[in-house]
Structure 1
Amino acid sequence: MASRLIKSLLPRRDGQDVRTTALDQDNIDFITQSEDAIEKNDLKNSTVEVGEEKVVPGASSASSESAFADDDPAVRDIPASVRRIVSLEDDPTLPTLTFRYFVLTLLFVIPGAFMSQLSHYRTTYIPFSVFFTQIASNYIGMWMAKVLPAWNVRVPFTKWGFNLNPAPWGVKEHVLVTISAASGATYNLAFAPISIAELFFGQRINAGVAIVFMWSVVVTGYSFAAISRQFLLYDPQYPWFQALCQTALFETQKKQREHPDATSRKQVIVFWSVLGFVTLWQFLPEYVFPMLGSMAFLCWVAPRNATANFIGSGFGGMGFLNLSFDWSNLSNLSNAGNMFLTPFWTQVLIFAAFVLNCWILIPAAKWGNLGSYKHGLMSNKVLTANGSTYPLTSLITPQATLNETAYEENGPLHLGTQMLWGMFFDYASYTSALAWIATFGYPQIRDAIIKIRARNRDKNHDTINFQYTDQLNILQRAYKEVPLWWYIALFMCSFVSIIAMLGAGQLYIPIWTYFVAIGTGAIVVTPLGWLYAISNFQLPIGTTNELLYGVMIQAVSGHKNPTGASVYSSIAGDAWYRAQYMLQDQKIGHYMHIPPRATFFSQVFGATIGIPINYAVIRWVLNTRFDYLTGAIKDPSHQWTGQSVQSTLTTSVQYVLVGPVKLFQEPTFRALPYGFLAGLFCPIILYGLHRLFPTSPLRFRLWNTTIFFSALSTFYGNLSTGYFSGFIGSFVVMHWAFRYRYELWAKYNYILAAAFDTGFNFNMLLLFLCFGAGKIVVMPNWWGNDADNSERCFALDS
């Protein structure tokens, strides 16, 4: 059945199979062409399929595409979907880092950093939408170009000066403002150790140390982008779906400003209409009518039946046939991002993992023989043998070592079965990412290395993108490249700062583990960036980083504060996390022909502005939501659970205080390390099957075990709603409309993606300002907002 499902999702035309080319030759059906067209070499009159996308060459909205033949070396390596969106012409005279840029960057980074950091203490969240900045900054920029005087201003006591209004509002200013917001209007991984130290161990990290540490982990990742940029950034075959989506919107806005036509006007109308609708709609599931966030039909049928409640509930149950109409539940499923952006094959894998996890494994654990420990199945907390919450803080002594007496009194640590298999598959996803790129991704890496070596042998060329001869790279040669020493200097700033803080004993970890953190981060940048570039899926590896730290720290005395594991994970995690985002935004700059040095500056500047705002939010949340986050008081909305902080604490205590050796000797944990072997061998087996049966209808290269294992590791205890609804939505948008209404999809899909995310984030801002900034206004209880259970699953906890 599974093979028939996957087979049905593959693109076909006139009953014929399609075969992969370029990027997907040994990986996924991402870029495909019909066999007839390949054989005839007549693409002008054929349909080129991109994944499931049908593109007619020469029909691009980019005005310059018609100037190139399809077999022209300048465009033949650029995917048809990219050629349809990206302009192949450039005007190097357009302004970039202007006075307007700096004003708008401050205007959008500050609230964005606030909203995004605030969201990460909630159960469900969507990061501050960069699309909001992209839309709003365009209108404000045009307004500033109209009203600002064209005065030349000299910076006092320097020879430097600038013009307040040098030219009409241009696309390059617009892109740079958006990239700065993407860098600064986000959250910071270091919020976890800062929060854990204060919430659970009563240790408040100095504000100056916290802010410098937050900045340092970010720029470590930015500097590590240099490791992969030579082929993940410049190689035209890597689309980076989020970058392509934003580029489509930039091009639409540019056309509307400079050469408006009926299509661009309709796109603008659709965007604002959907944005307004989503903004108003979200007041219902988020405030007035919470039942819309999780519509548990089985609970309506049997509201007092414990079994029916558990099966149907999306808040603490299996979420079987549960529907959600809350965009926060639909759009951020297992790190896949917006359903309008993520390829359907990725979403199929994620939904399959959800079904296996929630609809098969959870009932097998609750009512069957899967796992001997029957307490806390839907809990992410550490438990005792009788199911009560484990007093974790009692395990640490004043000397930061394990309190053996308390450990003997409370007994071994226990986790719910769902958390246990989540850890197993989390380990598997880590090694799977490395094995997958070593097998299915090897041809692309090999070709990139050959090109880089050829460039290095050619002393007449000093530009990094020389080895690529497509039109996009040719246009970028008009600008100075970012020299490698800029990245090295950025890294040294973070390196010196962190070494100084570690030497002063401010960050809970020994200095030598820092070197391991940056070393492992450097290793995974390329495989995880490659996965994100082709699938829009980001692999979380925090648990594995904490395990590695736990293994190392057991060999030394002291440093047994669990906060140290999250410090280590912040460093090692941001080394690849921020590197991916830097590469993604630089891909936008590449698509929009922005000078690379201006792009680099805008990223570092945006992050530097946003980090103090992140810290201010951390202080506000810890001061006002402390009891909710520790679990002393239950939040009736199920939102202020601090789920990510709680999960980090759980793994940190396991690996740091108890230690991997003692932990994995316990019967319930003994099988978990085998997850690393499963992740290592599964891609090798699938690759062997793919090589043996390359034309098999099972399409083994589609079964990306990294995505599947990572989705299986997701903890669904607090939230299992939204996945069924999200899969239905993705089927309509990314499969049906993509295949059968492509022209309509191409015009409006990315516009809708921007509108939904922007509308949701604008609604969150309004909710905070109207009902939570000053006096907290609570929604009165009614049928759709029951005081006991908004889903009306009244027997769920019985």
Structure 2
Amino acid sequence: MVDDTGVPKPRDTNVLTTLPQNDKEAFDDMHMSGEKKSLDDEDSEKVDSNKDDIENDCAYTALPQIVRELVDFEDDPTMTVITWRFFLLSGTLTALGAWLTEMGFFRVRRLSIVITAPMPTSCVRQTTYVPYSIYFVQIASLYLGRMLASSLPQIRIGFGKFSFDLNPGPFSVKEHVAIVLAANTGAQNNLGDYVLAPLRIFYDKPMNGWLAILFMLSCVFIGFSFASFARVFLIENPITPFPKALQQVSVFNAMRNSMEENAVVAQKQMKAFGAQLMLAQYAFPFVSSLAFLCWFSSHPKAQFLGSGLGGAGFLTLTLDWSNIGSQCIYYPYWAQVNIFAASVIAVWIIIPAAFFTNAWDSALYPIQSQTLFLKNGSDYPTSALLTTNNDLNLTLFEEIGPPMMSAQLRWNFFFAYVAYVGAFVSCALFQGPMLWRTFKSYRQPQSKRADKLTQIIRRYPPVPLWWNLVLFIIPVIILTILTAKGVLYMPIYMLFIGIAIGAIIVLPMGYIYSVTGYLMDVGYFNELFYGYAINAGGSRHPVGSLTYRVISGQCWYEAQMMLEDMKLGHYFHIPPRQVLLAQIWGICVGVPVNYATILWVCNTKGDILSGAVKDPNRQWTGQTIISLNNQSIAFALVGPKRLFADAIYTPLLYGFLVGALAPAILYLLHRRWPRARFDLCSVPVFANAFQTYWGNISVSFFTVFIFGSINHLWIKRYHFTFWKKYAYLWGAAADTGYNFSLLVIFIAFSAVKTIPMANWWGNNVDSVERCFHVPTQGIAS
């Protein structure tokens, strides 16, 4: 995390210099800059006559170097933003994305609590959903926007206040970014599907359509209000770069500059982008897991160690970008080291140790399974525990006892609790003084407390406080009425607790995301908390647990995505009010499409999604909603008090204690030996990576770390100019290529009828990675 040693403030009253100088240097080193440049880089910088002026201005130097390199500090206040072209293009592209992404919620194959056996490796590469890349939106909107700007006549349509220019002028970069902001917000699946789909499929109690849309909108808009209140800490704070937003900045710049005359560098950048638009992954799945140990030994232990699709994936590499992703480029290197260290300990050390010694009953309960088991190792009858009155079948429960979990799932819960508490404690200790200074600086004159980007954006009217209050109060009233009427199957006191917890976690979790791009998972904690809190009284209907997860989770996740989009608007100097309007428009388009998609899928595919009927084409898996329903039965109906009655679960709750103590110990060590950089040992990132369920697919983290090391330690450090021009762009291109190739595969092989790839050496029917002797149960030493 960012170092904050409490060094006294410099004399300059600008808030940017209130961050201790060694903190700013540490930030550059930890996150986006501080690279050792090549001689060519240094010479090129000397040529820029404006460079020295920028470097000597504290309003610029407060920003990370990569932000200064990528972002344009010139602003044209007359540039168009919200036009009819914006509504047309963003509405169309957002609706398309909302439909595709919501369909994917029901089609994607997830290894989760519903799985009862390891997935055959020959099935891993099947494509059952269509991804929707935001970079597709960037590309499509640019060409469509420029086409409209160049072809339509300049006439005014309508009367008086209800008129608009058919051609408002050139397709500006701000209008382009606003379209992407709307799609970023609305072209997603809404977490309301957690509630609406199980209600319709498992309980045959579909929610009224208008109430469902109000429910989905309300959770999102509360997240909007949370994001707006956190703006001063995470958007106007110069040391929160939001790496994914910077990646989009790089793509925007390259795309638009490539269309200018004599833009040789930008055109080269776009050629590099276009070169990534197709990746082989369907015909040759062997490259998805290069399990070297399996090639040299058929011994079961070596096979388990080497297999990335069913084993520990020791030294296994992958050449499939779907297993890598551009996080190896935009994650700070310190975060990648934390993630890799946690993965090595969890997957390469603890899993094999337990598997080979039958520790934690790994022979009885498959170690990499998330299935719930009876004590004899058979599947736990979760559905039979629910009575017709939606109560717990106590007679059956007393007979079978609490469900048993695999060893890996147990330590997943433990480290999830470590990560949750650790995020609060780490943020308070390491970032608390900096955040407090940021808050206090709000009393200073604006000219004395803003970095250059914030100075530019404050020329525009801010979002009024009453807008944020409306976005918060009206949704809360709606949710209160829905809860009081029993529509959400949740006690009303849990509604307010969920909203409060969602608000509390925005800042610490959002800060982690803003400096790393790493998304913290809060689902395990929400399940546990609801299971205990519901003992205070109220219905234990399983859907109530899902509703709570949506309210406490959707508000938080939406706030996080909103903040990232706000930062993108911040980088392009888009007025805050128009950023918020673009985001609200995206949600107003996306949510009705989400609901219509949920309704159609549940009405036409309900029997398949419930598991009563199998889909002959294997497209509609329903694994996600079955998993959600099982989890809600386990944590709401049964409850953690009964669930953890067995002694094997007693250690799990100590995760909260570890999460509180570990950051404090690291903080004290850092204060004592600051040069040792104990502040780079991030408890929340480490623990969150440790509890990530690899789902028998352990092929990614080693390759990601290798790519990340090459990127940060060699290319970025010694070839910074090249890295600045191509790194983010290449990562975005590879992500787009992966999405594009899946779209082609889906249309060609899955849209109408599933056509499996022919089996050959690179797509072996028994094991695509050619590990033919991987055991599925523990092995005695």
TM-score, normalised with respect to structure 2: 0.88
Matched, 1:324 2:305: no
Q: Which residue of 2 aligns with 1:123?
A: 110
Matched, 1:555 2:549: no
Q: Is the 8 A contact 1:317 1:717 kept in 2?
A: no
Residue 519 of structure 2 aligns with an amino acid whose one-letter code is Q
1:712-751 equivalences under 5 Å are 712-751=690-729
1:638: how far off?
10
C-alpha distance in 1, partners of 2:619/2:429?
41
- The one of 119, 135, 138 aligned to 2:139: 135
Q: Is the 8 A contact 2:100 2:130 kept in 1?
A: no
Q: Is the 8 A contact 1:23 1:238 kept in 2?
A: no
> SS at 1:169's partner residue?
coil
Matched, 1:355 2:344: yes
Deviations 1:553-609 (A, max 9, x none): 12214x222222121011111222111111111111111111111111001111221
1:751: how far off?
1.0
Deviations 1:195-230 (A, max 9, x none): 344555555444443333222221111111122101
1:621-636 equivalences under 5 Å are none
Q: Are the structure 2 counterparts of residues 89 and 290 from structure 1 closer, same or farther at C-alpha, using a change threshold of 3 Å?
A: same
Q: Which residue of 2 aligns with 1:667?
A: 647
1:702: how far off?
0.6
Specify every segment of 5 or more residues in structure 1 that has no aligned partner in the other structure, as ranges.
1-19, 34-47, 332-336, 456-464
Residue 167 of structure 1 aligns with an amino acid whose one-letter code is G
Q: Which residue of 2 aligns with 1:290?
A: 285
Residue 426 of structure 2 aligns with an amino acid whose one-letter code is W
Q: Is the 8 A contact 1:70 1:76 kept in 2?
A: yes
> SS at 1:50's partner residue?
coil
Q: Are the structure 2 counterparts of residues 213 and 484 from structure 1 closer, same or farther at C-alpha, using a change threshold of 3 Å?
A: same
Q: Is the 8 A contact 2:269 2:726 kept in 1?
A: yes
Residue 498 of structure 1 aligns with an amino acid whose one-letter code is L
Residue 173 of structure 1 aligns with an amino acid whose one-letter code is E
C-alpha distance in 1, partners of 2:666/2:47?
39
Q: Are the structure 2 counterparts of residues 378 and 190 from structure 1 closer, same or farther at C-alpha, using a change threshold of 3 Å?
A: same
Matched, 1:540 2:521: yes
Q: Are the structure 2 counterparts of residues 28 and 646 from structure 1 closer, same or farther at C-alpha, using a change threshold of 3 Å?
A: farther
1:341: how far off?
1.3
1:338: how far off?
2.6
Q: Which moved more, 1:321-330 or 1:175-184?
A: 321-330
- The one of 433, 436, 449 aligned to 1:443: 433
Residue 743 of structure 1 aligns with an amino acid whose one-letter code is T
C-alpha distance in 1, partners of 2:214/2:767?
43
1:436: how far off?
0.3
Q: Which moved more, 1:307-316 or 1:475-484?
A: 307-316
Q: Are the structure 2 counterparts of residues 784 and 754 from structure 1 closer, same or farther at C-alpha, using a change threshold of 3 Å?
A: same
1:526: how far off?
0.6
C-alpha distance in 1, partners of 2:683/2:246?
25
Q: Are the structure 2 counterparts of residues 49 and 715 from structure 1 closer, same or farther at C-alpha, using a change threshold of 3 Å?
A: closer
Deviations 1:584-642 (A, max 9, x none): 11111111111111111001111221123333444565567768866779999999766
Q: Are the structure 2 counterparts of residues 212 and 61 from structure 1 closer, same or farther at C-alpha, using a change threshold of 3 Å?
A: farther
- The one of 17, 23, 28 aligned to 1:31: 28
Q: Are the structure 2 counterparts of residues 111 and 295 from structure 1 closer, same or farther at C-alpha, using a change threshold of 3 Å?
A: farther
1:135: how far off?
2.1
Deviations 1:279-298 (A, max 9, x none): 2x2xx42x323333233334
Residue 490 of structure 1 aligns with an amino acid whose one-letter code is L
Residue 342 of structure 1 aligns with an amino acid whose one-letter code is Y
C-alpha distance in 2, partners of 1:636/1:671?
44
Residue 686 of structure 1 aligns with an amino acid whose one-letter code is L
> SS at 1:74's partner residue?
helix
1:357: how far off?
1.0
Q: Is the 8 A contact 2:27 2:239 kept in 1?
A: no
- The one of 728, 742, 746 aligned to 1:764: 742
Residue 307 of structure 1 aligns with an amino acid whose one-letter code is K
Matched, 1:109 2:94: yes
Matched, 1:162 2:164: yes
Q: Is the 8 A contact 2:367 2:408 kept in 1?
A: yes
Q: Is the 8 A contact 2:289 2:699 kept in 1?
A: yes
> SS at 2:744's partner residue?
helix
Q: Is the 8 A contact 1:311 1:318 kept in 2?
A: yes
1:238-317 equivalences under 5 Å are 238-258=240-260, 260-275=262-277, 279=278, 281=279, 284-285=280-281, 287-302=282-297, 305-317=299-311
Q: Is the 8 A contact 2:66 2:724 kept in 1?
A: no
Residue 582 of structure 1 aligns with an amino acid whose one-letter code is M
Q: Are the structure 2 counterparts of residues 633 and 54 from structure 1 closer, same or farther at C-alpha, using a change threshold of 3 Å?
A: farther
Q: Which residue of 2 aligns with 1:185?
A: 187
Residue 703 of structure 2 aligns with an amino acid whose one-letter code is S
1:122: how far off?
3.1
Q: Are the structure 2 counterparts of residues 52 and 188 from structure 1 closer, same or farther at C-alpha, using a change threshold of 3 Å?
A: farther
1:353: how far off?
1.1
Matched, 1:567 2:547: yes
Q: Number of residue pairs matched?
A: 738
TM-score, normalised with respect to structure 1: 0.86
Q: Are the structure 2 counterparts of residues 274 and 174 from structure 1 closer, same or farther at C-alpha, using a change threshold of 3 Å?
A: same
1:771: how far off?
2.2
Residue 33 of structure 2 aligns with an amino acid whose one-letter code is V
Residue 779 of structure 1 aligns with an amino acid whose one-letter code is M
C-alpha distance in 2, partners of 1:300/1:637?
33
Q: Is the 8 A contact 1:27 1:701 kept in 2?
A: no
Residue 689 of structure 2 aligns with an amino acid whose one-letter code is A
1:643: how far off?
6.1
Q: Which residue of 2 aligns with 1:50?
A: 33
> SS at 1:217's partner residue?
helix
> SS at 1:292's partner residue?
helix
Q: Is the 8 A contact 1:452 1:467 kept in 2?
A: no
Q: Which has the higher contact order (CA 8 A, sep 6+)?
A: 2
- The one of 190, 199, 213 aligned to 2:215: 213
1:364: how far off?
1.9
Q: Are the structure 2 counterparts of residues 54 and 450 from structure 1 closer, same or farther at C-alpha, using a change threshold of 3 Å?
A: farther
Q: Are the structure 2 counterparts of residues 62 and 711 from structure 1 closer, same or farther at C-alpha, using a change threshold of 3 Å?
A: farther
> SS at 1:350's partner residue?
helix
C-alpha distance in 2, partners of 1:85/1:481?
25
Q: Which residue of 2 aligns with 1:476?
A: 457
- The one of 653, 677, 681 aligned to 1:703: 681
Matched, 1:397 2:387: yes
Q: Are the structure 2 counterparts of residues 350 and 301 from structure 1 closer, same or farther at C-alpha, using a change threshold of 3 Å?
A: same
C-alpha distance in 1, partners of 2:355/2:205?
38
> SS at 2:316's partner residue?
coil
Q: Which residue of 2 aligns with 1:227?
A: 229
Q: Is the 8 A contact 2:491 2:537 kept in 1?
A: no
1:701: how far off?
0.6
Deviations 1:280-326 (A, max 9, x none): x2xx42x32333323333444456x5434332222332122222222
Residue 363 of structure 1 aligns with an amino acid whose one-letter code is P
Q: Which residue of 1 aligns with 2:3?
A: none
Residue 233 of structure 2 aligns with an amino acid whose one-letter code is F
- The one of 383, 402, 425 aligned to 2:373: 383
Matched, 1:77 2:62: yes
Q: Are the structure 2 counterparts of residues 615 and 542 from structure 1 closer, same or farther at C-alpha, using a change threshold of 3 Å?
A: same
Specify every segment of 5 or more residues in structure 2 that has no aligned partner in the other structure, as ranges.
1-16, 112-128, 777-781
Q: Are the structure 2 counterparts of residues 21 and 73 from structure 1 closer, same or farther at C-alpha, using a change threshold of 3 Å?
A: closer
Q: Which residue of 1 aligns with 2:558?
A: 578
Deviations 1:468-503 (A, max 9, x none): 332222222321111111111112332232223222
1:406: how far off?
1.5
Q: Which moved more, 1:428-437 or 1:106-115?
A: 106-115
